[in-house]
Amino acid sequence: MPSSGTFRQYALERITFGVPAAQALKGEVRLLGRRRVVIITNRSLRSSAQLQSVRTALGAECVGVFAEVAAHAPRESVIAGAAFAREAQADLLVALGGGSVIDAAKAMLLCLRHGLTRPEELGKYVGLKGIEPSHRTADEPEWLRMLAIPTTLSAAEYTWFAGVTDTLRGVKEAIGHPLMTAQAVILDPAMTLTVPDLLFLATGVKAIDHATERLASMDTHPFNDAMATQALTLLNSALPRVKRDPSDLQARLDCQLAMWMSGSGKQVGIGVGASHAIGHVLGAYRNVGHGDTSCVMLPAVMRWNAPVNTERQQLVSAALGQPGAPAAEVLEALITHLGLPRRLREVGIAKADFPGIADRVMDDFVASTNPRPLKGPQDIVEILELAW
């Protein structure tokens, strides 16, 4: 175990769970004293009962709904949403949706703070080096903040950075600032019912990916190990329960609580690896869904990493209830049981795509933290072959 380290407390003030979202949101807005709230969401939620419930709860304090966030949070959606919020004179954003919606809303805060009006202007803020995510900067009063009501298990609402896609280059880029963190998160399992069952389960595998890559990391910390282990144990129980009975709200809440825990290791500096790096590229470059990228890549990455972190991978297997079994096989069996894709060819990736994917992965912002060093594109191709 490490003899020194740092735990970072982000600018996330509250997480409310198991309370109806409309009720919790009304309380948060009252607590913060906000009067001009803009809801950020996507087209699939535009006419949903979930959106209507939170809009009704806000009443006159809701001054608009921007429902045009596209998958993978393209720069264009970010700029358009910021312009909408600026025109509405918003004093608070509420992100209702999955990872793309929440990431887009976080990036909108940056646009509003710095007056960005064109997609190319976001390029100036790409990169996370030199940012201390627990530091509340001196210009805090000039930042708009956001609340997050997630409908999937992506866990984007717990991070201080956003993955935004440069559509011209087909690249997902990281943009961050401590005050892009959600001020509060509301976990209401009923809000996830609008999401297709397979999509919800796939994002559950994304949460498994968060916990697995951190638990299997060569950088260890007892906080990370405890949180990742509990996340995996809970997801291993709750996801099959949701598949068996999609109306089981307790199972969905268990998934949400596990999602919360799954990425907590980042607060002590434990990173993710090649599954996330390749997943970012598959999403931005080939338009594969966030959850599906983890379904098809995580077992392959675990197999490729096994020569250097077998002992750490055994912690994953134990947390998933099969101590001693190869982690890749345990993960693959769970993904199969959930009825989700297991191979790249099942999500529309051809072998001819491998070189373009591999080149882009080497530039991804988490490629350098894989337990087994990625020395070049050929290593990525080897992993892709394992996932084919």
How far is Cα 316 from Cα 366, in angstroms, rounded to an integer? 20
Give the pLDDT score at 290: 84
Residue 178, pLDDT > 90, answer yes
259-302 tens-digit pLDDT: 999 999 999 999 999 999 999 999 999 999 989 999 999 999 99
Give the pLDDT score at 1: 67
**Arithmetic mean of pLDDT, 150-160:** 96
β-partners of residue 176 are: 161
Tokens of 36: 């001009």
**Arithmetic mean of pLDDT, 154-172:** 94
Q: Domain 196-387 is of which CATH architecture?
A: Up-down Bundle (1.20)
164 C-beta neighbours (distance < 10 Å), count: 28
CATH numeric code, 14-190: 3.40.50.1970
- CB-CB contact of 255 with 153 (8 Å): yes
Give the pLDDT score at 4: 83
Q: CA-CA distances (angstroms) from residue 377 to 172, 346, 357, 374?
A: 18, 22, 9, 8
Residue 169's Cβ-side half-sphere holds a number of Cα atoms within 13 Å equal to 14
How far is Cα 332 from Cα 356, in angstroms, rounded to an integer? 26
Residue 349, pLDDT > 90, answer yes
Tokens of 151: 């409908």
**Arithmetic mean of pLDDT, 317-321:** 98
**Arithmetic mean of pLDDT, 54-73:** 97
Residue 160, pLDDT > 70, answer yes
Q: Provide φ and ψ at 286, rounded to 5°.
A: -125, 5
Kind of pairing between the strands at 37-40 and 62-66: parallel
Domain range summary for the chain, segments of one domain joined by +: 14-190, 196-387
In the predicted model, what is the mean pLDDT of the chain? Answer: 96
Q: Provide φ and ψ at 221, rounded to 5°.
A: -160, 135
pTM of the predicted structure, to 2 decimals: 0.96
91-143 tens-digit pLDDT: 999 999 999 999 999 999 999 999 999 999 999 999 998 999 999 999 999 99
Q: Which amino acid is at 94?
A: V
